[in-house]
């Protein structure tokens, strides 16, 4: 009788173990029923801030004369900018840099004999940061007018920025998430399944390019500063459970 009970208990234990294992396998299989999609958030926008940099240069054999001429030129440039609507808090002048200039000296037969001092050069950078984009664009195009006043001046291309970039990122993330959900719903509907809750989400790299789309996207992210009209995009990879 004891033997019968022993085998009966063993048999029940085996059956119960099989049932538990069966439920575990079924649950595991269902937990693996997921779908992964990538949603896109994209928009174009206009920059609302401009940064433009220019440089003034002076050369003279006498250091003091070069420095005084630089100060005079700086005052002329500052006056020109103010007359064209640039306020004092929009422009910043750097310190004046002074360097000694030398030229190489060669003999008649082409052998290098050393260098000769030829004078001093002074240069100064000015930077305009403004929310009046059109005004600074116009000044950057017309700054060559100062050349007629014997001022050696050149400038970089204006750089364009957007001050509400953080808000824009949040909007695009929301847009990309909704796009991913819509894509997933379309796929599972055609497959005869039902979409469950999201199980994971991963953001792609934020990209800002020219609105014309002339640039290629970068693995590490692109941040265009030389186009006033820009395009921003971000992707979101979503994974959903299936019911």
Note the pLDDT tens digit of each residue in 190-234: 777 788 888 899 999 899 999 987 666 666 678 899 999 999 999
Shared domain check, 154 and 60? yes
Residue 135 CB burial class (10 angstroms; 0-12, 13-18, ≥19): middle
CA distance 8 to 109: 113
- Among 100, 128, 158, give the residue marking a domain's end: 158
Confidence of residue 242 (pLDDT cuts 50, 70, 90): confident
The number of residues in the chain equals 243
Single pTM value for the model: 0.78
3-state secondary structure of 208: strand
The arithmetic mean of pLDDT across residues 4-27, rounded, is: 46
Same domain, 190 and 227: yes
Virtual CA dihedral for 158, 163, 166, 172, nearest 10 degrees?
A: -70
What is the 3 state secondary structure string of 147-170? HHHCCEEEECCCEEECCCHHHHHH
Q: Same domain for 23 and 57?
A: no
Is 96:56 a contact under the CB 8 Å cutoff?
A: no
Same domain assignment for residues 149 and 88 = yes
Q: Say if CB 143 and CB 78 are below 8 A apart.
A: no
Is the pLDDT score of 114 beyond 50? Answer: yes
Could you tell me if 135 and 200 lie in one domain? no
Q: What share of the chain is helix, strand, coil (3-state, %, to 5)?
A: 40, 40, 20
The answer on 201 and 125 residing in a single domain is: no
- Are both 128 and 202 inside the same structural domain? no
Please count the helices (runs of H) and the strands (runs of E) in the chain. Answer: 4, 10
- Residue 17, pLDDT > 50, answer no
Domain of 128 in residue numbering reads as: 50-158
- Domain count of the chain? 3
pLDDT tens string 117-136: 999 999 999 999 999 999 99
Do 141 and 189 belong together in one domain? no
């Amino acid at each position: 009788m004891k033997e019968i009970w022993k085998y009966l208990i063993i048999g029940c234990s085996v059956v119960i173990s099989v049932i538990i294992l069966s439920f575990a396998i079924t649950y595991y299989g269902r937990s693996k029923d997921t779908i992964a999609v990538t949603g896109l958030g994209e928009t174009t926008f206009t920059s609302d801030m401009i940064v433009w940099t220019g440089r003034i240069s002076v050369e003279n054999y006498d250091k003091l004369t070069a420095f005084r001429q630089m100060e005079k030129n700086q005052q002329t440039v500052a006056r020109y900018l103010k007359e064209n609507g640039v306020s004092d808090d929009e422009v910043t002048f750097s310190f004046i840099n002074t360097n000694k200039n030398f030229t190489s000296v060669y003999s008649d037969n082409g052998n290098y004999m050393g260098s000769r001092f030829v004078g001093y050069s002074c240069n100064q950078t000015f930077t305009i940061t403004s929310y009046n984009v059109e005004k600074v664009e116009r000044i950057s195009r017309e700054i060559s007018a100062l050349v007629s006043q014997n001022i050696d001046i050149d400038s970089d291309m204006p750089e364009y920025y957007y001050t509400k970039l953080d808000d824009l990122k949040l909007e695009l993330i929301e847009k990309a998430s909704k796009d991913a959900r819509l894509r997933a719903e379309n796929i599972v509907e055609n497959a005869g399944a039902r979409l469950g809750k999201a199980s994971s989400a991963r953001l792609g790299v934020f990209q800002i390019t020219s609105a014309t789309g002339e640039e290629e996207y970068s693995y590490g992210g692109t941040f265009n500063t030389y186009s006033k009209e820009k395009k921003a995009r971000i992707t979101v990879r979503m994974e959903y459970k299936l019911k």
